[in-house]
Amino acid sequence: MKKKVVSLLLAATMVAAMVTGCGNTDTPAASNNAADNTVADNAADNTGDVAADNASDAADAAADAAGGDLADKKVGVCIYQFSDNFMTLFRTELENYLISQGFSASNITIVDGANDQATQTGQIDNFIADQVDVLIINPVNSSSAETITDKVVEAGIPLVYINREPDEAEEQRWEDNGWDVTYVGCDARQSGTFQGEMIVDLGLDTVDLNGDGVIQYIMVEGDPENVDAQYRTEFSVKALEDAGLEVDCLSDQVGNWQQGEAQSIVANALGQFGEDIEVVFCNNDAMALGALQAIESAGRTVGEDIFLVGVDALSEALEDVLAGTMTGTVFNDHFSQSHSAADAAINFINGVGNDYYIGCDYVKVTQDNAQEILDMVK
Ligand code: GAL
């Protein structure tokens, strides 16, 4: 059963890149609240608030019941790559929150998978040998989840996956076997839809700069193995099509979530397609910041002769949204996700158990609410 978690903050208020080619893949329709537009809307729409609050309360109560015991518990955290901006925000918040819940800093070990599954698998083996009490894993490859789950479950260690969602069959296995394994994250289809809607909301007359009745765009993708990248790519464009707009994909390339790679991809695309490019979709903000560098170097102006959207709500990107140099972004709530992951870990340690999927909402960010989000993340 899926559980929607209230956002903690919101409740409180080639050339080297591989060319992937344009076009959609067949995936199930998004079941999201794509109509939500503001922080207030989202706060009001947390239909799972009660369940989420209960889960959080359960973690608090369990932590209280355990007294100082959490201080003796060992937590192993595997991050796919430390040099990823968003995962840096996530892991910093995760560590702080674990400490605030009673874990001792010296018992929290966070390791860098360096974007290499073999490296990460070795780190998981070490954590198992060290007999940690719980593992929180951001897998390098989601497709390795089955192997990871098997060895962690066999070692009798509860497991919380974060950020990179294993596939449905894998999640079903946890439920079928009653294993202490869960996933905490957002539904990337919602973030893609929000990106597309921000472009739709500008209106065809504004976005269709060459007046041919078609929206010409380029797409800069994150890691193609990652469901976040796949869904954002698909659902951003789908939102345009669903609004009745005709689209034309001029270029679709992989920037691996990295600013530098995106900068060169977009610089080359601008060189090749020039003024034909009306919209630049980036699967995350780091790449949107790279795209912006390329756009400015090419003498183009966001909001006037090109439009640019990202995801994550990095503070630098929020400053750009406020300044009008980015059209919009989508808040990827690392506070809510890291706190829910830690709460799930505490529940496992205390034998309380968890749902097999713990979700969270994205928030659409335009000039209207960027300051509000910036105040939260800064
Ligand atoms: C996404 C995030 C990206 C990147 C990726 C890593 O949710 O938007 O910026 O961090 O996770 O898996």
Q: Which atom of ligand 1 is nearest to the CA of 286?
A: 9
Residue 35 has phi, psi (to 5 degrees) of -75, -20
Q: Determine which helix (DSSP H) or strand (DSSP E) holds 130, and give its type and residue range.
A: none
Q: Is residue 84 in contact with ligand 1, taking CB distance under 6 Å?
A: yes
- Ligand 1 centre distance from Cα of residue 82 (Å): 12
Measure 283 CA to ligand 1 centroid, in angstroms: 8
For residue 161 and ligand 1, the question of a CB distance below 6 A is answered with no
Buried b / exposed e along 227-250 (16+ C-beta atoms within 10 A): bbbbbbbbbbbbbbeeeebebebb
Q: Which of 81, 83, 85, 86 to mutate to test the pocket of ligand 1 (most atoms within 8 A of CB)?
A: 86
Q: How far apart, in whole angstroms, are the C-alpha atoms of residue 348 and residue 376?
A: 29
Q: Is 234 in the pocket of ligand 1 (CB under 6 A)?
A: no
90: Cβ below 6 Å to ligand 1? Answer: no
> 164 CB under 6 A from ligand 1?
yes
Q: Each residue's pLDDT tens digit in the chain (378 positions)?
A: 344 443 444 433 333 334 456 754 333 333 333 333 333 333 333 333 333 444 455 555 555 544 458 999 999 999 999 999 999 999 999 999 999 999 999 999 999 999 999 999 999 999 999 999 999 999 999 999 999 999 999 999 999 999 999 999 999 999 999 999 999 999 999 999 999 999 999 999 999 999 999 999 999 999 998 999 999 999 999 999 999 999 999 999 999 999 999 999 999 999 999 999 999 999 999 999 999 999 999 999 999 999 999 999 999 999 999 999 999 999 999 999 999 999 999 999 999 999 999 999 999 999 999 999 999 999
- Its pTM stands at 0.87
Which residue's CA is minimally distant from atom 11 of ligand 1? 163
